[in-house]
């Protein structure tokens, strides 16, 4: 049984494991923790304050306007390009390798199987 607390814990673990300088999508995280992408967004909004949330974007590599200023600063720090004219380019060039990302997770991390 996957409770909300379990889900929060998994999301926190998964997001924390995203390698520096790379980004993942809500869908990636959702698939990894075994829930819907939208659920990840809810958790990030509520519990993601102390996580590298700027490494988690939507499928287009974008974030809501109220987060963009802070996210851009983080992306700049980590060498992640901000490409306002071609947001897809960022997600394409900086998306974390799932294998490398998942490898950073603890063995105990339940991926659903």
Q: How many CA atoms lie within 13 A of 25 on its CB side?
A: 17
Q: Is 53 in the site for DNA (CB under 7 A)?
A: yes
Alpha-carbon dihedral of residues 33, 37, 42, 44, nearest 10 degrees? 60
Q: Is 41 in the site for DNA (CB under 7 A)?
A: yes
**Binder among 32, 63, 94, 96 for DNA (CB under 7 A):** 63
Q: How far is the CB of 113 from DNA (least distance, A)?
A: 18
> Which residues bind to DNA, rule: CB under 7 A?
2, 4, 25-27, 35-42, 44-45, 48-49, 53, 56, 58-60, 63-64, 67
């Amino acid at each position: 049984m996957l409770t909300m607390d379990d889900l929060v814990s998994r999301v926190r673990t998964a997001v924390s494991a995203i390698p520096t300088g790379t980004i993942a999508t809500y869908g990636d995280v959702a698939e990894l923790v075994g829930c819907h992408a939208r659920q990840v967004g809810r958790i990030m909004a509520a519990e993601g304050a102390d996580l590298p949330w700027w490494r988690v974007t939507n499928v287009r590599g974008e974030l809501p306007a109220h987060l963009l200023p802070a996210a851009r600063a983080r992306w700049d720090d980590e060498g992640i390009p901000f490409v306002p004219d071609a947001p897809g380019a960022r997600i394409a060039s900086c998306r974390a390798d799932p294998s490398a990302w998942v490898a950073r997770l603890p063995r105990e991390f339940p991926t659903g199987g």
